[in-house]
Structure 1
Amino acid sequence: MTPLRLTVLGAALALAALTGTGAATAAAPAVASPAAVAVSTAAAVPLFTDGYGLTLVPEDTEVHSPTDFTLTVTTKQLSGKHKIRILLPAGYDADPDRRWPVTYFLHGGGGNVNDVAAAPALHSDSMITVVPDGGLKGWYVNWLMQNTAEGAANWETFHLTQVVPFIEANLRTRTDRAHRAVVGLSMGGFGALHYAQTRPDLFGHAAALSGGIDFGKWEIRGAVLATELNLSGAWCAASSSSGSGGGTCVGHGPYVDSDAIFGSPYPVFNADRVWKAVDPAAPANLAKLSNTGITLYTGNNDLIDVHTAAASKTVHDRLGQLGIPSRLVDYGNGASLAPSCNGGHNYGCWAPAFADYVPRLEAAFATAG
């Protein structure tokens, strides 16, 4: 049977249900190369070595400060060049014998690695923060279709079997799961829970902020489809990489088939089997988090977060039914969180949410020894 595909009009209608305004995801590592690449000497940036399928492009390195820099890499898993922003604790150089916990921050749709600048709490003196490129619509999975305008799109392989070991080979990190976290917002909220479920051996902590974490909701599927078809609209504007979450939106890149990432979204003859298999809210996937610290943040005061609030509650309730503890912070209209927060899908809420979460994560890392 030929898979059912979503028309542009159908995706627009699906996204309208979410936004109210119209159209608004493992291979074994390679052996490390013996050649080391100095990405910067003037700013005392650490020496990095090619490996695990990643090749550095040293001329594209961006040094924001000695503890904040961006590498550029190429990999056969993805088309083109891709950035990895790294935030080091202030004491990294001064304490050469110390190893540090690591938090991986996954940005949202239409965003990029520089989004981390809008959440200052993630630049912590108690941990390393790594921000890998997730694409404008990568959705933190290996795409079913590899011959679209995006080309090779194996985001999950890139992050889990290349970036993680690359970071651990080049920086002084704690390599046990108790000292490794994955956090994300919006599209990256899906990625955080999906990666924690896919590789519970890697991540002992996971947090999703305004996450698209329930693929049982048609509104969440509609948001994914709109990114594939680049039907930006209100979703894109609300998910922008700007510090407030609004402003000019870069969109989600070129049009690709509506089945490109997860296959057909239609629950007909099990055509949506991939959506169900990777659904973070599926009880079988939630059961994989039995030994993981899980935190969920969401507002409920705009046409996007009203749905992320419902998704977060579903995940929280199902975890409870499985006897797995989790922390849900639904800050509603934002008044209980921060003056900058209006309860919507933006960094005015996400930045203070991270300011609340990071000290708790730091304490968990410290407790783990």
Structure 2
Amino acid sequence: MHTARAFRPLKFLALFLASLFGLCVSIPGWAFQTRVVSIPSAAMHRAFGATVVLPDDYARSSGATRYPVIYVLHGSGGNHADWTSNTRIGKLADRYHVMLVMPDGGRESWYIDSPFDPASRYETYVGTEVVSYIDAHFRTLASRERRAITGLSMGGFGALRIALDHQETFGAAGSISGAVDPRNCDDEPGIERVFGDPARHADFWTRNAIVEGASSFEHAHIALTIDCGVSDYFVQSNRVLHDKLIALGVPHDYVERPGGHTWSYWSNAIRYQVLFFATAFRHDGWRPFAQKA
């Protein structure tokens, strides 16, 4: 990857040589397209914005060319514009020739279909309605082997929850600084609206905790990557999930790096996750990862 510091001297040198010798040079750049679309939800009787990033060659390629899709979820209190506003995620669409879709998941929906708030049906929305819309309106490779879903914090929880509940749709999934045990987040403003009272409905909280449902990954055949900073307050629950997956023999990629619950960490981590997914796409989803006998 060219950093800004490394790229500018190279660009100036190329332009200098071109002017000196009359050469025609092509300076590499990023030409991805970012679109904001409105995606309707029949489940919630309204439409929500979504940010879609298309690789540069999407516009230049023939109508027969189709692309794999990575769905990237925001965290609590955020919206669909978070990733493009706070990171350079668009460059990854160009680099790996993938589409990136960032749907709106509400401020505190946890991407579930809440039994306590009938108006909050974000798992159906993201896992079914958004995917159907994107496949209908863009040139996608519409198969589970060419779809991935990931997200940060609340979005990390949502990505893993949706991937497990929609295994026919997603062949790869990830989590960055994921709140994989919402029972540790019972003081999060608004969480009780969708999860219910943690004392009266403790079984629902436990049933939906990713750390408690690790065995669900055993036969899911999902290419799985989990990433969390060593200074993140969610790192311990991520370690618990990692240990359970190891005990179950579930193939997965697990990474801890220096950093906390910050955009600096997330903007770095997403680069590795998109590389992971792009590799999985090239090898039909989960095939590069040895399965338990």
Q: Which TM-score band (shorter chain)?
A: 0.7 to 0.9
Is contact 1:213-1:280 (8 Å) kept?
yes
Identity of counterpart residues, as a percentage? 30
User: CA offset at residue 160 of structure 1?
Assistant: 1.8
- Larger proportion of helix: 2
Partner of 1:69: 35
Superimposed CA distance per residue, residues 94-149 of structure 1 (whole angstroms, 9 cap, x where no aligned partner): 212111100111100011111121232354121111111001111101122337xx
Equivalences for residues 148-297 of structure 1 within 5 A: 152-215=119-182, 218-223=183-188, 226-228=189-191, 258=192, 260-266=193-199, 271-283=201-213, 286-287=216-217, 290-297=220-227
Take 1:313 and 1:368, find their aligned partners in 2: how far apart are those partners? 28
Partner of 1:92: 58
Is contact 1:197-1:285 (8 Å) kept?
no
Equivalences for residues 10-49 of structure 1 within 5 A: none
Instruction: Return the letter of the residue paired with 1:263.
Output: G
Take 2:209 and 2:215, find their aligned partners in 1: how far apart are those partners? 7
Residues 289, 170 of structure 1: alpha-carbon distance in 2 compared, 3 angstrom cutoff: farther
Take 2:255 and 2:187, find their aligned partners in 1: how far apart are those partners? 25
User: CA offset at residue 353 of structure 1?
Assistant: 0.8
User: CA offset at residue 159 of structure 1?
Assistant: 1.3
Take 1:171 and 1:72, find their aligned partners in 2: how far apart are those partners? 14
SS at match of 1:295: strand
Give the alignment partner of residue 119 of structure 1, picking from 74, 80, 87.
87
Instruction: Return the letter of the residue paired with 1:329.
Output: V
Take 1:86 and 1:367, find their aligned partners in 2: how far apart are those partners? 24
Is contact 1:200-1:288 (8 Å) kept?
no
Take 2:284 and 2:108, find their aligned partners in 1: how far apart are those partners? 35
More moved, 159-168 vs 65-74: 65-74
Residues 222, 173 of structure 1: alpha-carbon distance in 2 compared, 3 angstrom cutoff: same
TM-score normalised by structure 1 residue count: 0.63
Q: What is the aligned length?
A: 250
Residues 74, 178 of structure 1: alpha-carbon distance in 2 compared, 3 angstrom cutoff: closer
SS at match of 2:77: coil
Is contact 1:102-1:130 (8 Å) kept?
yes
Partner of 1:367: 283
RMSD: 2.1
Which structure's relative contact order is higher, taking Cα pairs within 8 Å and 6+ residues apart?
1
List gaps (5 residues or longer) in structure 2: 1-30, 286-293
TM-score normalised by structure 2 residue count: 0.79
Instruction: Return the letter of the residue paired with 1:322.
Output: L
